Chain A
């Protein structure tokens, strides 16, 4: 277990020193500024525009980081052979993998927190006060964070057995597919056999249902997110993430390095 922590802290340190991260966070903060401007020209919905634009920025930037850096966690180390010396140490491969995951998860947490602070700042600049309903933003960003960690797990899984480019493609593909899982579940079409429809339903349960984590519509209009939803989403993310990471560990354990 200690090994996992050592790898995680090093991954965090490396991510923090990588300038790409700063650029992305800077861009996100820029979005907050833009949100204020957009709010000015939207009649009647200044506040909800800032919130929806801010949350969208946090989500999209976060997904960028999760996918690109997530894929790079394993493949960059394999490509550049930094991994070789490390695996000769008394560390199991799965400990390395989980450590990398934990490091990026920590990085994402810090980033998301920073961007959320930026969002609150943007709100405060426009409203000059904060209402009690503004605390619901935190639930929205927390759920976004859960979603991001799940995406990281998927990115790592794919990067363990395909090239970085394909891993990125697959991860983004699963993300989009996961958003439509609900639609797939409810799909009714005249020309489909019952067998096909139940297959679609089964697939819709297996796909990661990313829509679960989306509470933007609720929070944008100042309403609370139900605590049970937050709890269920947390368990979902932990469970699904564990499944994905276990799969990744299995694949990675038997992978021949170059």
Chain B
């Protein structure tokens, strides 16, 4: 059993604030989590939940109040270990006066690559993220999406074993998002581990082997997307139209109407009884489909519960 790519134990981060910095805001509380080697792990949560904080802690951009973490079995304090990891920060910004080629070359110099190898990789990466045509333009003229692509390129240029991406889809149009998704899948196919954070749930559902949900600084659950939402079906939904003004029947009371279409939800066991009732009422059945809870529902429930507890959700350390 290979060691986990990323191990986090009891990681916490508090920020002092207020007069004389006496009060403390907890932006991450006792996080314990593992990312297995070779999987795509999605880190989900609303804004300010602690996703970026966790990732910055992993990258040693900020320092934990307590707890430890390891990447590829080595402590996160181990600098040479960074040869094997790639990182894309949230909303990346790079040096105004360098071109994309120069930037990738600059970052690549910190890794043990020969000069020819380096320049070959730079060209390959630029092509991969679709910046071939813009490679000689200074970065200050780049759009947000282009910066995102450069950021991704520098994160994977050196063939890292572990890739950590903070909101990799942000700022990209649907085409760009598709390209990033393809790159992430390609990384997995090459046997690399990918950890990325997002609040776009559909991306997580599509890509991730496992997800971890974090709300209000606390980890609320880890598992496959399916596990998170529960496998049971939550019932059936019938969409129907009324061909003539019908007398009231029980299902009609429970139905919601949009335009000319009515929708009603029933437990699976009552499906056939419901169909018969509609047939008797002379309604025209348009569709019958299974209601599956989405990650979004799971998510929203958590968020509401959290807010109800009136703990501070919005934490951003300064």
Contacts and interface: CB of A to CB of B under 8 A. Distances in A.
Indicate, yes or no, whether A interacts with B: yes
Interface of A: 3, 6, 10, 13-14, 17-18, 80-82, 84-92, 254, 256-258
Contacts of A82: 93-95
A14 B91 CA distance: 21
Contact of B111 (A17, A18, A80, A89): A89
Interface string B76-87: 000111110111
Nearest to B158: A89
Nearest to B85: A88
Contacts of B164: 88
A47 to B, nearest CB: 40
B103 to A, nearest CB: 9
Interface in B37-96: 56, 59-63, 79-83, 85-89, 91-96
Contacts of B56: 84, 257
Contacts of B111: 89-90
B83 A85 contact: no
Given A10-B106, A257-B61, A85 B97 contact: no
A256 B63 CA distance: 6
B129 to A, nearest CB: 14
Contacts of B272: none
Nearest to B154: A85
Given A14-B97, A90-B80, 16 more contacts: A14-B95, A14-B98, A18-B97, A81-B92, A81-B93, A84-B56, A84-B59, A84-B61, A85-B94, A86-B107, A87-B60, A89-B107, A90-B79, A90-B82, A256-B63, A256-B317
Nearest to B155: A85
Contacts of B97: 13-14, 17-18
Interface string B91-122: 11111111000100011011100000000000
A88 B57 CA distance: 11
A19 B82 CA distance: 34
Contacts of B61: 84, 87-88, 256-257
Interface residues of B, number: 36
B110 A85 contact: no
Contacts of B79: 90-92
B98 A90 contact: no
Interface string B205-218: 00000000000000
Contacts of A84: 56, 59, 61, 87, 89, 92
A85 B95 CA distance: 11
B109 A6 contact: yes
A6 B109 CA distance: 7
B82 A85 contact: no
Contacts of B110: 3, 6, 89-91
Contacts of B102: 13
Contacts of A254: 63
Nearest to A257: B61
Contacts of B93: 80-82
* The 3 nearest A-B residue pairs measured at CB: A88-B87, A17-B97, A84-B89
Nearest to A91: B110
B247 interface: no
B196 to A, nearest CB: 14
A178 B92 CA distance: 40
B225 interface: no
A39 B61 CA distance: 55
A3 B92 CA distance: 22
A59 to B, nearest CB: 27
